[in-house]
Amino acid sequence: MLPAPPLPSVSPGLHAGFYDRPVVEVAEDLIGCTVAFTRAGELTSGVIVETEAYHDSEPACHAFAGLTPRTETLFGPPGRAYVYRSYGVHALLNAVCEPEGVGAAVLIRALEPLWGIEAMRERRGSVRDADLCSGPGKLTQALGIWLSENGGDLRRGPITIGPRADGWVQPSIVVGTRVGITKAVELPWRFCMAGNRHVSSPRPW
DNA sequence: CATGGGATTGACT
DNA sequence: GTCAATCCCATGC
């Protein structure tokens, strides 16, 4: 169960040091935090219910091949948005972690919608509400996040990630292996809010 | 410079 | 369950 939702304003972002830690730790701690984005004056936000960690030491991470034009943001300072195109079709949102010079990020894979649900429905078409943000490509579509947001500061916006709400109760978190990759498939670096209906498939329970 | 492979989704069988 | 869409960019010749 989620606590009462925060006010529908852009909450202050998490402090800079939050992201300057081991990426797997940040991935777990981001569960329950809030992503917000305003496009065309319309605020949409949701609670993070699923994440995955990626690190340049393992081959599933884009940064594994080193610093390239694509991975510039990944190797940059922590607390920025890494947004890239997936399968030529979708935009995927990540939070850059660990010190500058280390290529690491948390992929935001699913949200439980909080505000702007009507705007999400308009952008997503006729899908069940539980599927508005139940996948990494779905949530960027629902919030209206595009590649131009790559490199943005997650504390200042336009995309912000705010802390867990007051009264937040730590839920049980289910750990699993990452989705859709072919390398380093065994690493248990996927984190999901247990039993939450907005977690993407395949569900780890 | 040509090639091929995705951190996915939705439509269809 | 299968499969196409669609494009950035890393890799290799």
Average pLDDT over residues A80-103: 97
* Measured CA A103 to C1' C13 distance, in angstroms: 29
Q: Which residue has the tokens 């091949």?
A: A65
* Measured CA A98 to C1' C10 distance, in angstroms: 24
Give me the count of residues in chain A. Answer: 205
CB within 7 A of strand B (chain A, 95-114): 105, 107
More confident residue, A9 or A97: A97
A53 touches strand B (CB under 7 A): no
Secondary structure of residue A23 in the 3-state scheme: helix
- Asked if residue A148 lies in contact with residue A85, where contact means CB atoms within 8 angstroms, the answer is no
Residue A148 is classified by DSSP as: G
- Which residues does A101 contact at the CB level (< 8 Å), separation at least 6? A75
A62 touches strand B (CB under 7 A): yes
Residue pLDDT, tens place only, A6-50: 444 445 678 889 999 999 999 999 999 999 999 989 999 999 999
- Which of A92-101, A163-172, A195-204 has the weakest average pLDDT? A163-172
Q: How far apart are CA A193 and CA A29, in angstroms?
A: 11
Q: Hey, what are A172's tokens?
A: 């049980």
pTM of the model: 0.94
| Cα distances (angstroms) measured from residue A8 to each of A113, A139, A140, A186 | 12, 18, 19, 39
Residue pLDDT, tens place only, A140-152: 999 999 999 999 9
- Which of A76-80, A164-168, A188-192 has the weakest average pLDDT? A164-168
Indicate the average pLDDT of chain A.
93
* Measured CA A109 to C1' C7 distance, in angstroms: 21
